[in-house]
Amino acid sequence: MEIPEVDVDVAAERLAEGTALFMDVRDRGSYEASHIPGAVHVSDANIEDFLEETDHNQPVIVYCYHGNNSRGGTAFLLQKGFQTVCSMAGGFEAWRGKHPEQNGPE
């Protein structure tokens, strides 16, 4: 399966437009310390709730630390019937480097 990816600049445009839900798959402590504004933290503990409560037609951008684990999360959501999902290339570290003004806790 080819995993769709989006670069951080396109992700930032989607954040500004409000056209995508951001899913953070890093550990809870990293999420709490810093994350993309409005991002939802998803882990094994709450993935079932996320699947039940989230509109499968809602575009989702999945991110992790460096863009590796988010590819697996993207594949998982696609297999679960989400229509528009992509992994953010370079992960949160790439985001932090290009968009430092948007990487704090809410």
Give CA–CA dist 70/3, Å, rounded: 10
CATH class of the domain defined by 5-102 = alpha beta
Catalytic residues: 64
Please count the CA atoms within 13 angstroms of the CA of 77 that sit on its side-chain side. Answer: 33
Which pair of tokens denotes residue 27?
């550990």
Please report the pLDDT score of residue 94 as a whole number. Answer: 95
Name the residue ranges covered by the structural domains of the chain: 5-102
Each residue's pLDDT tens digit, 51-92: 999 999 999 999 999 999 999 999 999 999 999 999 999 999
Each residue's pLDDT tens digit, 24-36: 999 999 999 999 9
Which pair of tokens denotes residue 82?
């989400």
- What are the b/e assignments for 51-81, b being 16+ CB within 10 Å? eeebeeeeebbbbbbebebbbebbbebbeee
Please count the CA atoms within 13 angstroms of the CA of 36 that sit on its side-chain side. Answer: 34
Residues found in the chain = 106
Q: Could you tell me the pLDDT band of residue 103, with boundaries at 50, 70 and 90?
A: low
Please report the pLDDT score of residue 97 as a whole number. Answer: 87
Please report the pLDDT score of residue 105 as a whole number. Answer: 58
Whole-model pTM: value is: 0.93
